Structure 1
Amino acid sequence: MSRFKRVGKADPMAGFRAQTTEGTIPNGLLNAARKSGQLNLSGRSLTELPQNVYRLNIDTPEEANQNVSFGASDRWWDQTDLTKLLLSSNHLTDLSDDIKLLHGLTTLDLHDNQLRSLPSALGELQELQQLRLSHNQLTSFPVEVCFLKSLRCLTVQQNLVDSLPEEIGQLENLTELDLSNNHLKCLPSSLGCLTCLQTLNISQNRLSCLPMSLGQLANMKLLDCSNNQLTDIPASLSKMPALEQLYLRHNKLRFLPQLPASSLKELYVGNNQIEELEGEQLASLTAISLLELRDNKLKSLPEQITLLSTLTRLDLTNNDISTLPASLGLLPSLTMLLVVGNPLRGIRRDLLTKGTHELLTYLRGRIEEPNEADGGPTAMTLPSQSTVSLHNLKSLKLLDYSDKQADEIPDEIFDAAAAGGVTTVNICKNKLTSIPPRLAELQSYVSEVNLGFNRLTCCSPDICKLVQLTHVDLRNNQLSDLPSEMERLTKLRCIILNYNRFKFFPDVLYQIVSLETVLLGNNQVGMVDPSRMIRLVHLSTLDLSNNDLMNIPPELGLCEMLRCLNLEGNPFRTPRAAIVAKGTDAVLEYLRSRIPT
Structure 2
Amino acid sequence: MSRFKRGGKAPDPLSGFRAPKEQESAVPFGLIKAARKSGQLNLSARGLTEVPVSVWRINVDTPPEAHQNVDFGGSDRWWEQTDLTKLILASNKLQALSEDISLLPALVVLDIHDNQIASLPCAIRELTNLQKLNISHNKIKQLPNELQHLQNLKSFLLQHNQLEELPDSIGHLSILEELDVSNNCLRSVSSSVGQLTGLVKFNLSSNKLTALPTEIGKMKNLRQLDCTSNLLENVPASVAGMESLEQLYLRQNKLTYLPELPFLTKLKELHVGNNQIQTLGPEHLQNLSSLSVLELRYNKLKVLPKEISLLKGLERLDLSNNDIGSLPDTLGSLPNLKSLQLDGNPLRGIRRDILNKGTQELLKYLKGRVQTPDMTTQEAANPPDTAMTLPSDSVINAHAIMTLKTLEYCEKQASLIPEAVFNAAASSPITTVNFSKNQLTEVPARIVEMKDSVYDVNLGFNKISSISLNLCMLLKLTHLDMRNNALASLPPEMEALTRLQSIILSFNRFKHFPDVLYTIPNLETILISSNQIGSIDPIQLKKMTKLSTLDLQNNDLLQIPPALGNCESLRALHLEGNPFRNPRATILAKGTVAILEYLRSRIPT
SS at match of 2:340: strand
Once residues 262 and 542 of structure 1 are traced to their aligned partners in structure 2, the CA distance between those partners, rounded to angstroms, is 32
8 Å CA contact 1:209, 1:232 repeated in 2: yes
1:520 aligned partner? 574
Q: Which amino acid aligns with 1:481?
A: S
Q: Bigger CA drift: 82-91 or 508-517? A: 508-517
Following TM superposition, by how much is the alpha carbon of 1:61 offset from its aligned partner in structure 2, in angstroms? 1.4
Partner of 2:214: 212
Aligned to 1:98: 100
User: Deviation at 1:501?
Assistant: 9.7
Runs (5+) with no aligned partner, structure 2: 374-402, 404-472, 478-491, 506-512, 599-605
1:288 corresponds, among 277, 286, 291, to: 291
- Please give the secondary structure, in 2, of the residue aligned with 1:534: helix
Which residue in 1 is equivalent to 2:142?
140
The answer to whether the 8 A contact 1:510-1:533 is kept is no
Q: Using the alignment, how far apart are the partners of 2:80 and 2:474 within structure 1? A: 63
Task: Give the conservation status (yes or no) of the 8 Å contact 1:434–1:458.
Answer: no
Per-residue deviation at 1:496?
A: 2.2
Correspondence for 1:423: none
Structure 1 CA distance, aligned partners of 2:87 and 2:14? 26
Which residue, out of 366, 376, 393, partners 1:363?
Answer: 366
- CA contact 2:165–2:187 (8 Å) conserved in 1: yes
Matches within 5 A, 1:67-466: 67-259=69-261, 260-368=263-371, 405=475, 433=495, 452-453=502-503, 457-458=514-515
Percent sequence identity over aligned pairs: 44
1:404 deviates by 9.0
Q: Does the CA contact (< 8 Å) of 1:92 and 1:115 recur in 2?
A: yes
8 Å CA contact 2:495, 2:516 repeated in 1: no
Superposition deviation, residue 530 in structure 1 = 6.3
The Cα of 1:532 is off from its aligned counterpart by 3.4
Counterpart-to-counterpart distance in 1, 2:367 and 2:277: 28
Per the alignment, residue 539 of structure 1 pairs with 591
User: Contact 1:510 / 1:536 at 8 angstroms: preserved in 2?
Assistant: no
- Distance (Å, rounded) in 1 between the aligned partners of 2:69 and 2:561: 58
The aligned amino acid for 1:105 is L
Task: Tell me how far 1:338 sits from its aligned partner.
Answer: 0.5
For the residues of structure 1 that align with 2:173 and 2:181, how far apart are their CA atoms?
15
Contact kept in structure 2, 1:40 and 1:86, CA below 8 Å: yes
Gaps spanning 5+ residues in structure 1: where?
372-402, 408-429, 437-448, 464-470, 544-558, 560-597
Shift of 1:191: 0.4
Q: 1:215 to 1:114 in 2, by over 3 A?
A: same
| Residue identity opposite 2:126 in structure 1 | E
d(CA) in 1 for partners of 2:546 and 2:141? 31
Is residue 475 of structure 1 aligned with residue 526 of structure 2?
A: yes
Q: How many residues align?
A: 462
Name 1:35's counterpart in structure 2.
37
Instruction: Please tell me the root mean square deviation across aligned C-alpha atoms, in Å.
Output: 4.0
Residue 587 of structure 1 aligns with which residue? none
> What residue is the counterpart of 1:497 in the other structure?
550
Letter in 2 for 1:539: G
1:180 partner SS: coil
Letter in 1 for 2:187: K
Q: TM-score, normalised by structure 1?
A: 0.69
Note the 1:563-578 alignment, pairs <5 A. Answer: none
Structure 2 SS opposite 1:272 = coil
Do 1:435 and 1:459's aligned partners in 2 also have CA atoms closer than 8 Å? Answer: no
Compared with structure 1, are the counterparts of its residues 239 and 84 closer, same or farther at alpha carbon in structure 2 (3 Å cutoff)?
same
Q: Matched residue of 1:497: which SS?
A: strand
**Amino acid corresponding to residue 333 of structure 1 in structure 2:** N
Q: Distance in 1 between matches of 2:500 and 2:181?
A: 34
Give CA deviations for 1:272-295 in whole Å, capped at 9, x if unaligned.
000001212212111100000110
Which shifted more, 226-235 or 22-31?
Answer: 22-31
Q: Tell me the distance in 2 between the aligned counterparts of 1:357 and 1:498.
A: 18
In 2 relative to 1, CA 142–71 (structure 1 residues): closer, same or farther, beyond 3 Å?
same
Contact 2:244-2:264 within 8 A present in 1 as well: no
Give the aligned partner of residue 66 of structure 1. Answer: 68
Q: Secondary structure at the match of 2:248?
A: strand
Residue type of the alignment partner of 2:109: T
How big is the shift at 1:97?
0.4
Instruction: Name the stretch that deviates more: 341-350 or 450-459.
Output: 450-459
In 2, the alpha carbon distance for the partners of 1:238 and 1:139 equals 32
Q: 2:475–2:497: 8 Å Cα contact kept in structure 1?
A: no
Question: CA 1:506–1:335 in 2, change beyond 3 Å: closer, same or farther?
Answer: farther
- Give 2:560's match in structure 1, choosing from 484, 487, 507: 507
Aligned counterparts of 1:435 and 1:365: Cα–Cα separation in 2:
25
- Determine the structure 2 residue equivalent to 1:389: none
